[in-house]
Structure 1
């Protein structure tokens, strides 16, 4: 945690250990951290110079000039007791410095991008680059996923080739944790892979938006609508995996439009207790008569009373209820009510 502010691992360990007690010496902290006592004393002395800790008191005679033998001086240093300086005061300068460093890095990043665009203007290399090889394709994929700040748009088709699903899941979780708007359209065959349904269910629960279509023309990831990567499907199955990375251009705009078109026609996926469930297609939506039955059931009516109210047989009520449960892919009427509310049936 404190390493993000510029402190080293040993400093963080000593600082954290000292936070748990009012004052302590190098001997005490060495026992807690597992760091050698001499190294702990050195870390404490350095932290004192930087204002992170202050000397609470000195062992008898340690402040009265030369102690004599080097061994006694060393023992005295290990016995000096320290206390933490208030973190709000001591750590604030480190936080400011890290923020300033990030600002400088962002400024340099923007300048490099602008310089690249200016020097590569009208060059095909400024729009499309070809990436060849498993490591290179995986590296560029992670750059796009981990570098996204606002939005990720993804097409998923079939089994992964260059990027293992575990690595893709890690990048996905990182994006969701950062608050990135993450939308995915998956071809039906993507769900056939081992363990995919469980991973998809977890991602949906974490905030991923995923929709399902029967087929897609390509795999794709679009990052912040500024760059995209599309794998190249080569006829030679023995060839190395390769992909093209597309930067801001009319081609990138066309890919974004393709994603939005497929997104609009795709069916949303929802997590269920046993896996995932796709919203039914238009021709599989409940009929008006089925929704009448559903409304009365949700109002607490029994099957017999629903049949009486609608002038139906109990068998018809049961048949319509069974079809509603099949459409919702649920096993109980309680789940049916939850799905009906989620899907906006009523």
Structure 2
């Protein structure tokens, strides 16, 4: 018996428990796995006769054993573990592995950001030229925060990037380098409401304790902490992501003033209530006009009703939709297919 292959067989009987194993299977692994499923048992020589390289057979079968997809019946003989048992179990291990990775992302990101957390740019201003650079600067800011951050978000490239991230990211609280959960307040521009994932993302972030308000016409997106750091992001000349990391306390304080101004003017976010049921033609027309910015007096003239009637219906419709502004009511109605 070949000593090397004998040792390999012994090792495969008591392997360490990695999820993926140490062998990078190619697309051929599907073919060899199907060949294993087609017979009660398959020998190494039978695999070779089917055209598989001997070394590839050895590595593939060791990998299948490690994944509990196959078991040895003897020397160089294997059978497949029933797929209805093996595949769900393997998938569950992969899901557990993925969950562990996702749970580690926040802490690892803080560690990555901390590489340069103690070495701010000497000038106090660091230009950011991509979404990735803005994301890293934001992680650095969070890592170096004390207890709280405040921000504002308009329809910037980085804001759209954040809205596209998985829900797992948004249900994770923001923390500093010491693992302290940060109190966060964010004012969102009403222009973000039509985004298809807006409700989902804001709801997820609220579940972590973050507070949200709304205001229109925000000049840029930014986040500022309680340690004199700020990150601004906006559109570049050609619509690209462009940002600035500020570590000068005076300039960061100016950004903080803008964020606090937006927060004071903003309206609280409320989840939409049940909106089932048809709207009558008049209510639909009111919402259509609201979404275009029409005033109550103009709506009253067009519908030939009193302004008081319009004001009452607008309040009722806003409550029904969970809207905090007239414009938001029109947008939410459009999103829900009510108009």
Settle same-fold status: TM greater than 0.5: no
TM range (shorter): 0.3 to 0.5
Task: Return the index of the structure with the highest Cα Rg.
Answer: 1
